[in-house]
Amino acid sequence: MNSPAPASARISIIGAGPGGLTCARVLRRHGIAATVYDRDPDAGSRDQGGSLDLHEEDGQLALREAGLLEEFFALARCESQEERRIDTAGRLLGHRLPAAGETARPEIDRGQLRDLLLRSLDAGTVRWGHALESVGGPAGGPRVLTFTDGSTVETDLVVGADGAFSRVRAAVSDAVPRYTGVGFLEAWFDEVDSAHPEAAALVGRGSAHVADGERGLFAQRGSGGHMRVYLMRRVPLDWMAAAGLRPEDTEGIRARLLAEYAGWSPRILRLITDNDGAYVDRPLFALPVPHTWRPTPGVTLLGDAAHLTPPLGVGVNLAMLDAAELALALAGSATVDDAVRAYEKTMLPRSAEIAGMLEGGAGFLLEEPDAEELARLASS
C-alpha cells in the first residue's frame, strides 16, 4: 500500500496530554484532521498534576506554532520563576528572583495547559474512554488500533503520545521503562497562604529545593493558592508494601517520613507532615539511553513514549516540541512516510543527546547544591 498524502490520511494520536493535543492543534491549523484517543472517561476525570515551566526554546515555540502563545501568557505565572535553595536547617543558600518582564520559563498548571489546548480543538477531536490495547495491522498499512473494550479503528498513522508506559511503543521498540531507584511522594497543600503561612513564606512564589545527599524535597507553588511538595528518596520500588504500609495509611507514612527526615529543621518538616490529604506514591522510571528504533511505516512516538527521562524540567517541553515538529513535517511532506522520516531524523538524535545528559539525573535531585548551582542562583 502506498503511503497517503497527510491531508487525506487517517491520523490517530494516542494520548490527550500536552504532546498529543499540541500535535492535533498544529495539524488543524494546517488543514489536516486528526483524532485523539484517550483512556480517561472525560477531561475532568483525574487530577492533571502540578505546575510546568514552559521554555521559550521549545514549549513556547510549540505554542507559537499552535497559535496559542498569547493565551498561554494570559494564564502563565511569570512570578513563579522564583527559585530557592535551602539547607536542611532551613537556611537560604541561594535565591533567584525573575527580572521584571522575564518570560523565559513561566509556570502554568498542567490542568490549565491541557484545558487551553482542548478548547482550541474542534468538538469531537478527542475520543474519551478509549484505552489502547495494541497496534496491529500489516507494515504496509492500514494500521489497526485495538482498544480494551474490543473496538477497533483502522488508521494510516498512529502517533504514540501515551506517556511512560506507552502501548504504542511496542510497535516500534522492545524497550521498557526501568525504575531509577528514586521515588517521589507527592503531598498537596490547599489555601497555602492562609492555612499554611509558614510553608508559604519558606517556599516563596515559585519553588524551593532541599537535599542532603540521601533525601530531597521539592516544593512548588501552583495557581489558586495550591502547593505541591515532592519528597524524594532512594527506596525500593516496593518500599511501601515492604514496610507494611498502604497508600491510604497517611499517618503511618507520615511517621515513617518523620523518622527518615529526622534532624531536618522543624520548619521544613512542616512541608512533610502538614499536607492536606493523602500522599501519592510516584516512583521514577526512565527508558534505556539511547532509545531509538528503525523506521516503522505508519507508527511514530513523541514525548515520554519516545524518550522518558527523570523529571528535570524538560519532559513536557520536549513532548510539545516533538508534537509541533511532527505536525509541521506532515504539513510539509508529500506522504505520511516522508513526514515521519523527516521528523524522526531530527527528533531521535536530539532526544538521545538530552537523555544521555540526564541519565542518572534522578539521583541529582537528592544532591546538595554545588558551587555552580549556587553561583547561578546568586547571579540572577
**Cell 520500588, residue located:** 237
Cα 171 to Cα 174: distance, rounded to the nearest angstrom: 8
Burial letters 102-129, b for 16+ CB under 10 A, else e: eeebbbbbbbbbbbbbbebbeeebbeee
- Chain-centre distance for alpha carbon 127: 21
Q: What is the CA radius of gyration of the chain?
A: 21
Residue type, 247: P
**Cell 510546568, residue located:** 52
**Cell 508529500, residue located:** 334
Residue 292 corresponds to which cell in the numbers above? Answer: 531509538
The secondary structure element, H or E, covering residue 354 is helix 336-358
Q: Is there a contact between 296 and 172 (Cβ–Cβ < 8 Å)?
A: yes
Cα 208 to Cα 220: distance, rounded to the nearest angstrom: 7
DSSP code, position 276: S
Neighbour tally for 150: CB within 10 Å: 7
3-state secondary structure of 338: helix
Cα 84 to Cα 219: distance, rounded to the nearest angstrom: 10
Residue among 198, 203, 204, 205 at smallest CA distance from 217: 203
294 annotated binding-site participant: no
Cα 328 to Cα 10: distance, rounded to the nearest angstrom: 16
350 annotated binding-site participant: no
267 annotated binding-site participant: no
**Phi then psi dihedrals of residue 362, to 5 deg:** -60, -40
Q: Is there a contact between 20 and 323 (Cβ–Cβ < 8 Å)?
A: yes
Neighbour tally for 98: CB within 10 Å: 19
Binding positions for FAD are 53, 110, 304
Binding positions are 46, 53, 110, 304
Binding positions for NADPH are 46
